[in-house]
Structure 1
Amino acid sequence: MRTFGRGSRTKTPLPLAPARIVAVGGGFGGFHALRRLQKLLEPERVSLTLVAPTDYLLYSPLLPEVATGVLDPRDIAVSIRQTLRRTRTVLGHVSSIDFGERTLRVEGRDGITEVEWDKLILAPGSVTRQFDIPGVAENAHGLKTLSEATFIRNHVLAQLDAADSLPDTPAGRAERIERLTVVAVGAGYTGTEFVAQMQNWVKGIATRWASIDPSDVRWLLVDLAPAVLPELGDKLGKEAMDVLTARGVEIRLEVSVASATATSVTLTDGTVVPSRTLVWGAGVAPSPLIAKLDLPTEKGRLVVEPDMTVPGVPNVWAIGDAAAVPDLALDASKPTPPTAQHAQRQGVQVAKNVAASLGVGESKPYFHKDLGLVADLGGFDGVAKPLGIPLKGPVAKFVARSYHLYALPTAAARVRVATDWLYSTILPTRVVNLDQVRAEDALIAKAQGQ
């Protein structure tokens, strides 16, 4: 008998050759699955491989703070190679999977690689949900990748800089309105936090411009839903709406985008909004990989059992935004929501279940009671519902930031984020347009492939 990990004892005999465990996707699910497997199973028992388009875990809930320059992009990009030291990383996108031969095809920058597996964890995550709306794919920018967040920040700065120097002529005034109008689609977490934090940020750096007052910038938040932040309930949703409205943000509910061009957005109620900035945060859709697998799906998400195994396909598990994992804690007939909170915890549980398939430990169904939801509205404002307790204002802001520090996967990331938050409180805001991301690389259609 040998001892391994944090006090765990592995009595199962070692195999003749290590089992090849492959995880597809380096988001919360795949990252935490491999991290836990490193603790549960010896190197002699398994070899671990991650297939992902990037070599970092992106802590996406803090992307709005990257867009406002409060956080450096590297603060929320956790190095996979440094954290998962026993895991081999293959960079690229999975284009196909052969379940019979237990191989998958990876298309990367350096060509095509074939990866063999004995146990497969599918955690490819999600992409920004697209709709067949004229002009959106060509003109809208999402907020789901570092490239998008960095571009949006630089783009907004560039629009305001250009507006500041326009001549006071009819043509100049018309162009000024376009450049000073920001339209955000989606009043969920992404859209609401983006508008709230970006509006607060622009107000704080208004001295950058000679002829622009913060009130000159028009912020428009639109959504087909009847409420802002519906996940938090009517009371907190109204609180968030009141905060934004008091700051001058226009909120148009039960309306969406009918079409878009480079200089305007037409809403479904016929309103034409002159704007050169369209940010798309209207939900997410499962990774396009799922549609290629020819397996049963539920609203695009892969159907799985409560223990996250894929029915009819031995030695395959699926988790996260791309899997319809039954929500046993709330309603087993519905899948868990596509949140980082569930993906992370599914990753931990699937690691235990994969280990159990190798004779180590016991497999169990996924069960997690939601810890609650938080939304940072910039400044000292926030709304939160930890463990079902509604909070607002500075207290909610504190809870939101505390939760993010808790959820960040490494101590180094926590220190960097906390330090930047401290600097943003006591030092002048950083206002530099580095212009490092091409506009075409931050379009929704382009970002889906990152």
Structure 2
Amino acid sequence: MRKTFYLMVFLIVGILGNLSAQMTLFKGTFDEAIKKAREEKKDLFVDFCAEWCGPCKAMASEVFTQPEIGEYFNSRFVCVQVDVDAKENKDIVKKYNVEALPTMVFISREGKEMRRVRGGVPADALIKEAKIAAGDELSFEQLYDKYKKKKNDFDIQQQLLLEAPMFIPTQVGYDQQKWGARIESLFPEYLKNKKIENMANGADFLILTLYHRGTSKEDPIFDCIANNFDKFAEGVQKDAPGDGKETPTGRDRVAHYLISMNNSYIIQLCKRGDINYKKRLARVNGDLKNAYAGISFGSLSVLDAITLLADATYGLYRHDENTFFEKMNVYFAGKGEATELADYTQPLQDLATVYEGKMSENAYGKCIDWIAKALTYEMVVPTRVRLLMMMGDCLKNTGETAKAKQSYNQAFIASAGIENKAEMKQLQQMIQQSLQGL
């Protein structure tokens, strides 16, 4: 009997614990919420919402229900939802200048606005805004003022650089330009004073990925990371969050950073017709060998695969169709079963860009095989529609009018599954124009 009683208590406590581990929304009017806030010596968190607002519902079901939200907000705020369409809330909506949804406003118990959040945001961003409103953290503006007084404080500089990508998009017009210019000048200053060799840690590596996204022939930052790959990988791994979630290893993150920049630079050189791309390729088996070590291209070596792609791109941008198709087909054959959808869609997109839809009949014919193979993969509906449209174009330009019409019709049918109605309408109009042109 006693065991049963304890079990019941345990279950009840567990249920109550789960219910409390989310934001508690006050069931009453705005004025009643203000009164409650004064009585409990708290401030208000007001979620201005509407029944028709999808993002508002997403915030309520996906963010407000998270335990960390409940833990912070319930202890510091009286939280209330205000329906902007309700007549009784008309004056409140006007007073707090709510013009778009979602809008969430932190309001003092005296009724004064302290901070505002526009649009849907993840839980960590909302908690940060709440901490700023509650005075537990400095706002970005306050942090920058602190930096101006302590310009040699690396911690403040680091925090500004990490928070800027979230803060600057919230600004508009001149303010956005102003803050963008300030942070743009802060990064090289931080880099110069702290020095790249001292940035082998999680926070600083994130800063590098945010503000140093491209490389060139002379790039001390890229070279230092490449030559100290293990040091950076270990430093980034050491600072990885230990929350049990699946996250890329430090080695994976550093490798991806170096590979993406190196590959992008090689492609840039190829597009410009700069034969020096071959010298850059040599680094794949040189100082970048550790970075590329985890990549597989079927039966192809990493260097052979990237060389084929580079040579194909170089040929394409010189309008050398034969070289382009030859190199790409060798690449597809070598990669074999490891070939992915993007392996086909990227060169097809490049072809469309370079030739602006005016390829030779031979090129259109060769694309048909690639598109057919691409369509065997799973993909989002808009991609499938565009591939079917491209197939129709290729068949049309090789004289296969009946098959082209069939492909366009398949594209039109598939387009009905596109969730974005504006995109669906635009693609359907393009398909109809193609059908009329047969």
TM more than 0.5: no
Which has the larger share of helix? 2
State the structure with bigger RCO (CA 8 A, min sep 6), 1 or 2.
1
Q: TM-score, normalised by structure 2?
A: 0.24
Q: TM-score, normalised by structure 1?
A: 0.23
Q: Larger % of strand: which?
A: 1
